[in-house]
């Protein structure tokens, strides 16, 4: 480095000159891959962020559900009250599915059998009174799906179970709801059946009717599946079928 003096319009100042070194090839190249320790730290941070996100989602859903139930108790219109209760049930169904998936990452695969069993346990505890004659059973073969598919499967199952409990059984009827999951190669079938008082002329209502039907159809579309409904005097079966 060297220093020279210069004068501009009568003002003296000093200028310093230094040689700029060309960056080495190593510095110009891409950064080196992260070490195993750095990978572990990134994964730990990801899991912490995911858990925090899930915790906030769960809290938000609980708040929304509480507001809906509070409003349902204060409105005068019975029709409005029923709509608010339906909305409350659907928010709680999302919360139930989200709770069952909490230990899983966004890209993880989920064992369908245990997942549906835990989901239906939660539905049974929250929607079927201990003194009720109704039962909710799960029959599922071994199989895994991505967590995003598990969400849709869980929401479909919850919607169909809720609809069966609401529409299938008259007072005093000993009802049975069966959730079944079967695998055929790369394809699968999810069905929810009941032994209620279904008839062929009310299959639209028993499949969910209105918003319920729209929700099931939309979720089936997300799963690249089709919906089949079989309703008769012995009950109703709603199946979601994915053909590979």
Say yes or no: 96 and 185 in one domain.
no
**3-class DSSP assignment, residue 54:** helix
- Mind listing the pLDDT tens digit of every residue in the chain (244 residues)? 555 555 544 555 555 655 655 555 554 445 677 787 877 777 777 667 766 666 676 677 778 878 888 888 888 888 888 888 778 777 877 777 777 776 555 557 889 999 999 889 888 887 777 777 788 999 998 888 988 898 899 989 988 998 888 888 887 778 899 999 999 888 999 999 999 886 544 444 444 456 678 889 999 999 999 999 998 878 899 999 999 8
C-alpha closest to that of 139 among 91, 94, 176, 99: 176
**DSSP state string for 139-207:** EE-S-EEEHHHHHHHHHHHHHHHHHHHHHT--TT---EEEEEEEEETTEEEEEEEE-S---GGGHHHHT
Q: How many CB atoms lie within 10 A of CB 114?
A: 13
Q: Judge whether 16 lies within some domain.
A: no
Q: Judge whether 18 lies within some domain.
A: no
Condensed to tens digits (0 to 9), the pLDDT of residues 203-237 reads 444 444 566 788 899 999 999 999 999 988 788 99
C-alpha closest to that of 206 among 167, 159, 157, 156: 167
Say yes or no: 92 and 113 in one domain.
no
Q: Judge whether 22 lies within some domain.
A: no
Last residue within a domain, chosen from 103, 120, 152: 103
The domain that holds 229 is classified in CATH as 3.30.565.10
- Report angle CA 57, 116, 138 to the nearest 5 degrees: 150
Q: Judge whether 204 lies within some domain.
A: yes
Last residue within a domain, chosen from 86, 103, 120: 103
Q: What is the pLDDT of residue 105?
A: 54
Residues ≥6 apart with Cβ < 8 Å to 146: 107, 108, 109, 110
End-to-end CA distance of the chain: 72
Say yes or no: 67 and 181 in one domain.
no
Say yes or no: 173 and 186 in one domain.
yes
Last residue within a domain, chosen from 74, 103, 132: 103
The number of CA neighbours under 13 Å toward the Cβ of 30 is 3
Say yes or no: 121 and 87 in one domain.
no
Say yes or no: 99 and 112 in one domain.
no
Give the domain extent around 73.
40-103
- Does residue 93 contact residue 155 with C-beta atoms inside 8 Å? yes
Say yes or no: 96 and 118 in one domain.
no
Say yes or no: 181 and 204 in one domain.
yes
Number of domains in the chain: 2
**Helices (H) then strands (E): counts for the chain:** 7, 9
Say yes or no: 144 and 210 in one domain.
yes
């Amino acid at each position: 480095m060297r220093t020279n003096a210069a004068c501009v319009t009568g003002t003296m100042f000093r200028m310093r000159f230094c040689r700029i070194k060309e960056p080495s090839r190593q510095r110009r190249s891409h950064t080196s891959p992260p070490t195993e320790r750095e990978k572990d730290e990134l994964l730990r941070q990801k899991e912490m962020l995911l858990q925090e996100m899930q915790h906030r989602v769960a809290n938000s859903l609980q708040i929304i559900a509480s507001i809906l139930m509070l409003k349902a108790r204060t409105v005068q219109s019975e029709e409005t009250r029923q709509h608010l209760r339906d909305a409350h049930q659907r928010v709680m169904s999302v919360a139930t599915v989200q709770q069952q998936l909490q230990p899983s990452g966004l890209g993880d695969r989920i064992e369908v059998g245990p997942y549906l069993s835990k989901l239906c346990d939660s539905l049974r505890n929250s929607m079927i009174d201990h003194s009720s004659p109704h039962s909710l059973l799960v029959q599922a073969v071994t199989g895994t799906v991505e967590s995003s598919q598990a969400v849709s499967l869980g929401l479909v199952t919850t919607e169909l179970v809720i609809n069966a409990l609401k529409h299938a059984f008259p007072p005093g009827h000993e009802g049975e709801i069966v959730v079944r999951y079967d695998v055929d190669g790369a394809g699968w079938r999810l069905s929810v059946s009941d032994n209620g008082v279904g008839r062929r002329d009310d299959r639209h209502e028993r499949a969910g009717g209105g918003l319920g039907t729209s929700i099931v159809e939309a979720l089936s579309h997300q799963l690249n599946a089709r919906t089949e409904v079989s309703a008769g005097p012995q009950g109703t079966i709603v199946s979601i079928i994915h053909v590979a």
